[in-house]
Amino acid sequence: MGSKNKLRRFNENATFENVLQPDRDDVQKGLVHLKGNWNSFFKNDNPIVLELGCGKGEYTIGLAKQNKNKNFIGVDIKGARFWRGAKTAIEDHLTNVAFLRTQIELIDLLFAENEISEIWITFPDPQIKYKRTKHRLTNQLFLDKYRFILNDAGVVNLKTDSEFMHGYTLGLLHGSGLEVLYANHDVYKNEGSPKEVMNIQTFYEKQYLEKGKPITFIQFKVK
């Protein structure tokens, strides 16, 4: 993507009412007023669902269209990517969608304890090298953050093409004594996955499927 195109998207994001871009220093100082009050942003009391590392926002948009009684927030640091999702939400009059430009490691500073009902992690970078372990979105540090912001009934959904990420996460969950509600190492060959896993496909997921890569899914609890 050219620098001019990125700048255009950044500028357009700044005009979107469904895009929030808090300053990192403000987040770390606890100056973000929406923490604990995200339902006021949506003007309803519906459950709030996060997609972490939302990319272009395809899954956030897909989930929002299928679940009008829930609010969805796509989280990513790359605003030029989720610009497409934010624009689509506006064009399609989806009032239950927002996009938050921030680092995922800050989510426990942006959302209050028990404020979130569900988390989706779709096709994250598996960070295979050992020295990158701290960046894996299902490592123990992140699981602790998810535990803080999720309510007691909250669940985490991991959909990935990475067998490594699938196996790593299952091993960590079992080792920590956390409850795995559902696990499938090839969702399109084995029945039983939630409809949102089967009915929503990202651009890259379609490419993986064309190459014959199995898509895996885990749904688990952290409390």
Instruction: Report the SS3 class of residue 162.
Output: coil
**Number of structural domains, the chain?**
1
Q: Which of these is catalytic: 92, 125, 144, 186?
A: 125
**Whole-number percent of the chain with pLDDT over 90:** 93
Q: What is the rounded average pLDDT for all residues in the chain?
A: 96
Active site annotation includes 26: no
**Whole-number percent of the chain with pLDDT over 70:** 99
Helix or strand run (H / E) with residue 173: helix 163-176
CA distance 141 to 135: 9
Range of the domain at 32: 3-220
Q: What is the pLDDT of residues 97-108, one digit of tens each?
A: 999 999 999 999
SS3 per residue for 98-140? EEEECCHHHHHHHCCCCCEEEEEEECCCCCCCHHHHHHCCCCH
Residue 2 predicted with pLDDT over 90: no
pLDDT at 1: 61
Residue 31 predicted with pLDDT over 80: yes
Q: What is the pLDDT of residues 110-167, one digit of tens each?
A: 999 999 999 999 999 999 999 999 999 999 999 999 999 999 999 999 999 999 999 9
* Residue 124 or residue 7, greater confidence: 124
- CATH code, 159: 3.40.50.150
Q: Enter the pTM of the model.
A: 0.96
Residue 209 predicted with pLDDT over 70: yes
